[in-house]
Amino acid sequence: MMNEATGKYVYNGNGDTLLPLYVVKVGGNVIDDEDALQTFLKNFSLLNERKILVHGGGKIATAIGDKLGIKSEYKDGRRITNDETIDLVTMVYGGLVNKKIVAILQSLQCNAIGLTGADANVMPAVKRPVGDVDYGWAGDITQRNVPAKQWQFFLENFLVPVLAPLTHDFQGHLLNTNADTMASAVSVALSRFYKVSLIYCFEKAGVLENLEDEQSVIKKIDRKIYDQLKEDKKIHSGILPKIDNAFASVDAGVSRVIIGKATEIELLINQNGGTTITN
């Protein structure tokens, strides 16, 4: 129920306890691995709380692009999204991947609804300005424009939003957008109304001190630990943007951020696995 005085959803009329919400982002090789994806979605479907799923695109867009003669181009790990490529990723992310995930969740009695940022205007953005690199139809999110009410409508009507990594610019253009950032943006927008746990799921067991050792998971990272780990060069550079997103989220009101293995989501939720980011 909503407390009319605070505008916040609570367990009871006392206004002291926010309802839990899990925003789960899945990506990496999990999207490309049918068995891993099935296991993840089964475990996700069993999570008996309000929840949102944000997914990446894996390598599927690149593979389909190769078949269609659309060459993938990257700069600093980010896809250059020209006119051909935005059509490709819309087809793959918003179509094939999104609807496949929704269909599997429906088979698991999880009432999912597939969305891009344009649907119900859940994630507006702006086209990334051209700087040293022209990223084409890439989107950047302005946090204050993320509409919490639209998200609350789905959640309070017992629907599970499944968000593809596409936003829109109010000019009729879809924009290719980083899924980690989208997950963070919706988590922050809803943190006034729910106790939000943001969970980044991928193929690794968590943030690893040694990339070759799955047992070297760093259980908890705060700012001081993070600075020391970077200074000692004990964290792989590829995970740094995810951790930076995590800190930005907890600084903006998200209760906790957990990074870990997609097939072990129940352990992550209970903080028996993965890496927890705190401020």
Q: State which residues of the chain have pLDDT below 70.
A: 1-16
Token couple for 249 = 């989220």
Instruction: Identify the residue whose tokens are 């939000």.
Output: 196
At 87 the three-state DSSP class reads: helix
The per-residue pLDDT for range 177-210, each reduced to its tens digit, is: 999 999 999 999 999 999 999 999 988 888 998 8
pLDDT at 14: 43
The per-residue pLDDT for range 38-86, each reduced to its tens digit, is: 999 999 999 999 999 999 987 899 999 999 999 999 887 789 999 999 9
pLDDT at 6: 44
Residue 257's identity, in one-letter code, is V
pLDDT at 142: 94
Separation CA 226–CA 276 (nearest Å): 12
Which of 180, 198, 189 has its CA nearest to residue 154? 189
- Which H or E element spans position 190? helix 179-190
Instruction: Identify the residue whose tokens are 């040694």.
Output: 210
Separation CA 277–CA 30 (nearest Å): 22
pTM for the complete prediction?
0.90
Token couple for 91 = 């087809």
